[in-house]
Amino acid sequence: MRIAFFDAKPYDLPAFQLHTEQTDLDIRFYDTHLTAQTVQLAAGCEAVCSFVNDMVDAEIIDRLCELGCRILALRCSGYNQVDLQYAAGKLRVVHVPAYSPYAVAEHTMALLLTSIRRIHKAYLRTRDFNFSLNNMTGFELHGKTMGVVGCGKIGQVLIEICKGFGMHIMAYDKYPNPDSGLPYYPLEEIWKQSDIISLHCPLTEETYHMVNAESIAQMKSGVVLLNTSRGALIDAEALLEGIKARKIGAACLDVYEEETDVFFEDWSGHIIQDDVLARLISMPNVIVTSHQAFLTQEALDSIAEITVQNLLSLQQTNTCANELYWKDGKILRGTPMQ
């Protein structure tokens, strides 16, 4: 099976090369995004491997089908970038439902600690031999209330980390697990009572801009917002206004709603055209990392292993437990009619 691997980075290659050594999978790595202009690179390939910021819409799906591709292998858990309804019956889609919840949860806590203890500012100061502690006062996590929105594997790992800091937990999930032992609350109560709010839910029509001007108005003054899930969960302009109004005390973002053409690339020699992102980064109480929460050796190995297993499963058995498909207005997992 030939696979066109889009948006390849140097850190992707070793794990995928390792896990395909003893297989007949022939991966062709391309560093470009999958777009209407680059889709032709998939000619002669049976499958395409794409990442979070490769938009696979109706136009791309049609072109892939015309080129003979029959499989789209997402090397990520999220699939909001794929038109699964349009892909039904045309292109088989598989994904990596879980790779390392510890990677994302630990990065979330790292962002929080960096922000509230001013570690990033201390790093810059001491490199200039400035050892002043002025304007470096932070606050303790012990006794603070953490609102976790989305309590899947990542959310649960973060909750366990927060418990170790002596924090109070408020959990929200659309599908609460009665056996989890978590203290679930309505979303409105999360907004009102949390000192810190961390988002760990998928991007859907329902969760799009769930953090907006209205929800921010309900939050405590000085609230800290964390987002290591999907950028469009937060209305970036409303976030900016909340920061300027001093309603939001700090924001830690590993994702951004318009990140597709910016993240994963080096723009240090250019002028960023996204004014909202530029203004957010300029704020002293905002930390932005470029969608790197997943980026650990363990996670990269797991992503490669599961992606390769997905492809081999379809090749050898025509089924895959991680296949995604649209049926009766819902997105389901597992091979149809399995």
200, 150 in Cβ contact below 8 A?
Answer: yes
Query: How far, in Å, are 59, 150, 169, 172, 294 from residue 177 at the CA level?
Result: 39, 11, 15, 10, 25
Sequence letter at residue 175: Y
Evaluated on CA atoms 258, 272, 251, 119, the torsion sign reads: positive
Choose the catalytic residue: 92, 200, 230, 257. 230
Query: CA-CA distance, 50 to 32, in Å (whole number)?
Result: 10
155, 174 in Cβ contact below 8 A?
Answer: no
Strand pairing partners for 48? Answer: 4, 72
Query: How far, in Å, are 211, 242, 243, 244 from residue 279 at the CA level?
Result: 18, 13, 11, 10
User: Is 230 known to be catalytic?
Assistant: yes
User: Is 140 known to be catalytic?
Assistant: no
Kind of pairing, strands 92-94 and 323-327? antiparallel
Query: How far, in Å, are 46, 79, 85, 88, 329 from residue 92 at the CA level?
Result: 11, 13, 11, 7, 17
Instruction: Report the chain's terminal Cα–Cα distance, integer Å.
Output: 23
Hey, what are 105's tokens?
């949860």
Choose the catalytic residue: 259, 279, 298, 333. 259
Hey, what are 114's tokens?
């960096």
Choose the catalytic residue: 291, 298, 305, 333. 291
319, 313 in Cβ contact below 8 A?
Answer: yes
User: Is 209 known to be catalytic?
Assistant: no
Count CB neighbours of 91 within 10 A. Answer: 22
Q: Which residues are catalytic?
A: 230, 259, 291
